[in-house]
Amino acid sequence: MKTHIEPFKIKTVEHIYITTQEEREAALKEAFYNPFALRSDKITIDLLTDSGTTAMSSKQWAALMDGDEAYAGSVSYYKFEEAVKKITGFKHIIPTHQGRAAEKVLFSVVAKEGKVIPNNTHFDTTRGNLEFIGANPVDLPTDIGVQPEVIADFKGNMDIEKLEAAIKKYGAENIPIGMITITNNSGGGQPVSMANIRETKEVLSKYGIPLYLDCCRFAENAYFIKTREKGYENKSILEICREMFSYADGATMSAKKDGMSNTGGFIGTNSDQVAEKCRTNLIVMEGFVTYGGLARRDLEALAIGFEEVVDENYLRYRVNQSKELADTITAAGVPIVMPAGAHAIYIDAKRFAPHIKPEHFPGQSIACEIYRISGVRTTEIGSLMFGKKDKDGNHIAPNMELVRLAIPRRVYTKSHMEYIAEAVIEVYKNREKLRPMRLTWEAEYLRHFTCRCEYI
């Protein structure tokens, strides 16, 4: 059969809010033209994030009832630990309430002021956590990784030559760990090949630097390896995961993504010393070592989520759902980061609205307009999220200006996807009417979450 179907049926339904254009215009104004500030009852389809927005399975909901809420030594923790070990093979698994907490606890142990952490591309929370303690996050994507129109299999790869050069420039003694983000979220949701993970490990090993994976979307990355990298077509997703993690000394994960649950995360490590220090800091920052800030029932849902996410039928559906949306909008001319990733489609705002300069936030203007006409919420990943200012106050733009349409797992049906496509295509047809924007207020860190904007 050619038709891709959702590999699940619906047992419980959730009301969707249908609004008028007038209501949405008022809501946008009230939110200071920042979609993060919109109330969710003013949103029809929410593509702000794929994080924590997963629809849990009936098995996961049933497992919640089994949660053993013991403060210490909860049986639920051991189920969670076993599920994560089965996939990652790491010696120590330390639960946290979400990904950034795992980062904060790990960096409190391995990073310090002045230290340098290379990554294919840091997600904004790893960057934020490192900058917060005065460390220096360095992004080393490949050249094709930052060219939206180039079609290639593994555009999320780390640039190996740039990595070697960075180690020579900063000195191995100043690089406590190297990281790879799979899939590369800020770089367009692009996967990293097995060969690249292996080579990164080889280079880091030469200098005695451990490798940690930021592995939020490890199963999606594994599916791309299976379908795109020679030699992996007959391996199971679990086998591919085991091999990916075998090259790493540890990982941080936001389990709100491929943990198939609404909250959770972990630190994995093979180092006894790092684990011991992380556990000590965890107790201060998150909670006791067998719950790390989570309700124990969450650990039950996660244990099952980790089993469900490595199901190839699920991953095939997941990747095709995004691909079909990408195919529909690109057929109408909409420029996107090619090829489509699994968790999101990224509109290339530079080519979509070339009349708006990066410092006037073309992505934000597109995101606001998509919401205004349809109630579909998307998010800017460009100058608003990553832009900086030089000494003279001039705007320093990031490599790409994107709008992300993140697809929650198992939530939206084919007709929802058609509605999204129609909205994007409509805005594209009227793109010359998109207006430049400016900031009226911004916070010191991660400004995109809370900033206020207006049209110029």
Which residues sit at the interface with ligand F0G, rule CB under 6 A? 49, 51, 98-100, 123, 125-126, 181, 185, 214, 216, 254, 256, 265, 406
Q: How far is the CB of 350 from ligand F0G (least distance, A)?
A: 21
Cα–Cα separations (whole angstroms), residue 347 to 43, 202, 326, 430: 20, 35, 9, 15
User: Residue 233: CA atoms inside 13 Å, Cβ hemisphere, count?
Assistant: 3
Nearer to ligand F0G, 74 or 254 (CB): 254
Q: Which residues pair with 254 in a beta bridge?
A: 265
Q: How far, in Å, CA of 119 to CA of 209, rounded?
A: 13
Which residue number, 185 or 190, has a Cβ lying nearer to ligand F0G? 185
Nearer to ligand F0G, 407 or 439 (CB): 407
Of 81 and 103, the one with the shorter C-beta distance to ligand F0G is 103
- Residue 447, C-beta contacts closer than 8 angstroms, at least 6 positions apart: 384, 385, 439
SS3 string, 389-444, reads ECCCCCEECCCCCEEEEECCCCCCCHHHHHHHHHHHHHHHHCHHHCCCEEEEECCC
Return the number of the residue (213 or 334) whose C-beta is nearest ligand F0G.
Answer: 213
Q: Per DSSP, what are the bridge partners of residue 265?
A: 96, 254
Closest CB to ligand F0G among residues 181, 193:
181
Closest distance to ligand F0G from the beta carbon of 35 (Å): 12
Residue carrying the six token digits 């880091």: 204
CB within 8 Å of 308: residues ≥ 6 apart: 57, 59, 60, 260, 314
The CB-of-265 to ligand F0G minimum distance in angstroms stands at: 5
Handedness of CA 157, 222, 258, 51 (dihedral sign): positive
Q: How far apart are CA 10 and CA 423, in angstroms?
A: 25
Q: Cβ neighbours of residue 314 under 8 Å, at least 6 residues apart? A: 7, 308
Give least dist CB 2 to ligand F0G, A. Answer: 32
For residue 281, the minimal CB distance to ligand F0G (Å) is 17
- Which residue number has the CB closest to ligand F0G? 99
Select from 229, 221, 219 the least CA-distant residue to 255: 219
- Residue 332 Cβ, how far from ligand F0G at the closest point, in Å? 26
Q: Measured from the CB of residue 379, what is the shortest distance to ligand F0G in angstroms?
A: 7
By 3-state DSSP, what share of the chain in percent is helix, strand and coil, each rounded to 5?
45, 15, 40
Taking the complex as a whole, the smallest distance from the CB of residue 136 to ligand F0G amounts, in Å, to 18
137 forms beta bridges with: 117
Smallest gap, in angstroms, from Cβ of residue 354 to ligand F0G? 26
Our CB check for ligand F0G shows the closer of 53 and 374 to be 53
Q: In angstroms, rounded to a whole number, what is the distance separating the alpha carbons of residues 292 and 279?
A: 9
